[in-house]
Amino acid sequence: MGQLNYNHLRYFWAVAHEGNLTRTAEKLNVSQSALSIQIRKLEAQVGHALFERRGKQLILTEAGRVALDHADTIFAAGDELLGTLKQQSGMIRRVIRVGALATLSRNFQLGFLRPMLSLPDVEVVLRSGRLADLLRELEALRLDVVLVNQVPHRDAATPWISHKLADQQVSLVGTPRRVANAAGIVDLLSDNPIILPSLESSVRTGFDALAARLGVRPRIAAEVDDMAMLRLMAREDVGLAVVPPIVVNDELANGMLVEASKLPGLQETFYAVTQMRRFPNPLLKQLLKTEVI
């Protein structure tokens, strides 16, 4: 392969961060054609196309994303060298980019990310949003992994890989006052307003089936698709929440809420979604073997 030309790499690095050849050429005070030639030489040396042109915008290919990560590290190392010689502290940073459904339990996200949060040389970039938006970011290589509680649809054009992380038992959770005199699950469901996940949730589907089997028609206080709001409503004693205990770990620990009853056969399953890549982020391997409780 020969020795890497760092001048070519720096030109590529500048274009990758700017996303536009013309603006980068103006900033670097070089011609656009000269800049294009330098990038083509780098592509020839590494043996991969680094950009895909879409209209006037340059989009990084997978090889380009990998090259940019390494270029960031290389030029950060140069800054570190200068800082060291000037007796300034610093270290090379690695980055893991994680997406999570906006409605996903924050406690679960924290448990998944904990191994990375304790590493001084790793920066965690966390984005939340809708499933469709997060999968587009994953496909565009702007995310390394997406955390969900449902397996996304896939076909030959969407090669997602869904890694099962954990099954969480779902329970009825409420304030101590509300559940003090309940004799069993049927009493709990009959005598209390219920805070439920929205109809799109797999937990909601399972709860409706369970209520039908028990012959109970619960009085619904609220339907909530955000776990943080569901947690708050349970704390405010709006009703009993149908929720995995991990969502309310802190409240269960301090006695603000209690687990009134497990809901038999009802679980929420959490997944980490990745896509097939020739150059996966090496930090992913450590995250995907983490047991989240």
What is the model's pLDDT at position 104?
86
Phi and psi at residue 45, in whole multiples of 5°?
A: -70, -40
* Cβ–Cβ under 8 Å, residues 247 and 231: yes
What is the model's pLDDT at position 4?
81
pLDDT in tens, the chain (293 residues): 467 888 888 889 898 888 888 888 888 888 888 888 988 999 888 889 998 888 777 888 988 888 888 888 888 777 666 655 665 555 567 889 999 988 888 888 988 999 898 888 888 999 999 888 999 888 888 899 999 988 887 766 677 888 999 888 999 999 998 877 767 899 899 889 999 988 877 788 889 999 999 999 999 999 988 888 888 999 999 999 999 988 888 899 999 999 989 999 898 889 999 988 777 888 888 888 755 44
What is the model's pLDDT at position 107?
85
Residue whose C-alpha is closest to residue 227's, from 240, 242, 206, 205 = 242
- The Cα 274–Cα 53 span in angstroms is 24
* Cβ–Cβ under 8 Å, residues 219 and 188: no
Could you tell me which residues come within 8 angstroms of residue 78 by beta carbon, excluding any fewer than 6 positions away?
none
* Cβ–Cβ under 8 Å, residues 268 and 244: yes
What is the model's pLDDT at position 293?
42
* Cβ–Cβ under 8 Å, residues 237 and 153: no
Return the number of other C-beta atoms located less than 10 Å from residue 169's C-beta: 15
Could you tell me which residues come within 8 angstroms of residue 177 by beta carbon, excluding any fewer than 6 positions away?
237
Q: Are strands 219-224 and 193-197 parallel, antiparallel or unpaired?
A: parallel
Question: Can you spell out the DSSP letters for the chain?
Answer: -----HHHHHHHHHHHHH--HHHHHHHHTS-HHHHHHHHHHHHHHHTS--EEEETTEEEE-HHHHHHHHHHHHHHHHHHHHHHHHTT------EEEEEEEETTS-HHHHHHHHHHHHT-TTEEEEEEEE-HHHHHHHHHTTS-SEEEESSPPP--TT--EEEEEEEEEEEEEEE-HHHHTT--SHHHHHHHSEEEEE-TTSHHHHHHHHHHHHHT---EEEEEES-HHHHHHHHHTTSSEEEE-GGGGHHHHHHTSSEEEEEEEEEEEEEEEEEE--SS--HHHHHHHTPPP-
- The Cα 228–Cα 132 span in angstroms is 21
